[in-house]
Amino acid sequence: MLAAGAWLLAAFAVSLLLARAAIAYAYRRGMLDQPGRRRSHRMPTPRGGGIGIVAALLTCAPAALGRAWPPGVVAGWIIGLLLVAWVGWWDDHRALRIWPRLLVQVAAVAGFCVVLLHGQAAWWWLLLLLPAGVWSINLHNFMDGIDGLLALQALFVAGGMAVLAWSYGQLPLALAMAVLAAAVLGFWTYNRPPARIFMGDVGSGSVGWVVFSFGAMLWRVDQASIWPVLILSSAFAVDAGLTLLSRMLHGRRWYAAHREHLYQWLVRRGASHARVGAAYLAWNLLVAAPLAWLAAIHPSGGIAFTMVAYAVAGIAWFVLKSRLIRRRPTRIRHAAA
């Protein structure tokens, strides 16, 4: 327990200190997100603070994972994280086209999945895991648009997955997930509203990668764990998924920057970033957490509980989105991200 506490404290400290250093670095390099029609903040704000989360994970998580997972899996996880973080860091400095980013993400996910499945599962699972991993990376990037929202979501999902791993007797994996939570908490200190720095692609993509890879590892322990993991991620998955589908159906460039997610509409209609983050957290604590718990203790009903969570979230998304679109704009009285 003392060793675990030391790793968590180290992850928090590394992320916190590097987030602070990233603020000065971003100002020197001109890495500032400027306000604009497709952004939800009003002041130029540094980006790239997620580099601290990446460094904390690389410093603390492999030691925990190495206690229970083969060296090949741990190496695949490290290489995948490095690839996703590298292309995100590059994009934070100089905007990249979508295809180079996508190719690197596919390579990271494919390499990790190959070593995870080797000798233990049918190869056709790769056809499901590959798009799931790439989607997770980009989903978290899509949802990183206001102060503190992604950090709060990552804290909740990492904490929930840590409890799941612990319940399955996977203490090293639970510790690695707790390291993610500690690292995100350190970053959140500078990202809570009003944010002093944004996570950037280096952070959002890496968080998406880690959520996917840890979820896949938990799935290898017990395939029924996929249902509570999906429920824990329901708020972001539904908002990102339905927004993307809506943009595609309306013939818009789905990959272009926009402000059409539900959380962005809430801000556009006058809600503060803190209130929007609280609303998503309320869903997680009042709906997602209980349903995930039920799916965990009743594995045979996991798919049913997951369908309920996503159906309710989808209905809420449609109702709220339609009301927000019809409502008159409200003057925004805060500076945010």
337 residues of the chain, pLDDT tens digit each: 778 889 999 999 999 999 999 999 999 998 988 776 666 667 788 999 999 999 999 999 999 999 999 999 999 999 999 999 999 999 999 888 889 999 999 999 999 999 999 877 677 888 999 999 999 999 999 999 899 999 999 999 999 999 999 999 999 999 999 999 999 999 999 999 999 999 999 999 999 999 999 999 999 999 999 999 999 999 999 999 999 999 888 888 777 778 899 999 999 898 999 999 999 999 999 999 999 999 999 999 999 999 999 999 999 999 999 999 887 655 444 433 3
Whether residue 228 has a cis bond before it, omega within 30° of 0: no
SS3 109: helix
Residue 334 lies inside a defined structural domain of this protein: no
SS3 content of the chain, % helix, strand, coil (to 5): 75, 0, 25
> 33 lies in which domain range?
2-326
Residue 332 lies inside a defined structural domain of this protein: no
What CA–CA distance (Å, rounded) separates 210 from 231?
17
Q: How far apart are the first and last CA of the chain?
A: 37
Query: Do 335 and 43 form a contact (C-beta atoms < 8 A)?
Result: yes
Six-digit token string for 54: 């990446």
Residue 336 lies inside a defined structural domain of this protein: no
pTM, to two decimals: 0.92
What CA–CA distance (Å, rounded) separates 295 from 301?
6
| Phi, psi values for residue 312, rounded to 5° | -65, -45
Q: Indicate the number of domains in the chain.
A: 1
Q: Number of helices (H) and strands (E) in the chain: give both, helices first.
A: 14, 2
Six-digit token string for 124: 């056709």
Q: Distance of CA 244 to CAs 138, 239, 262, 315, Å?
A: 11, 8, 11, 16
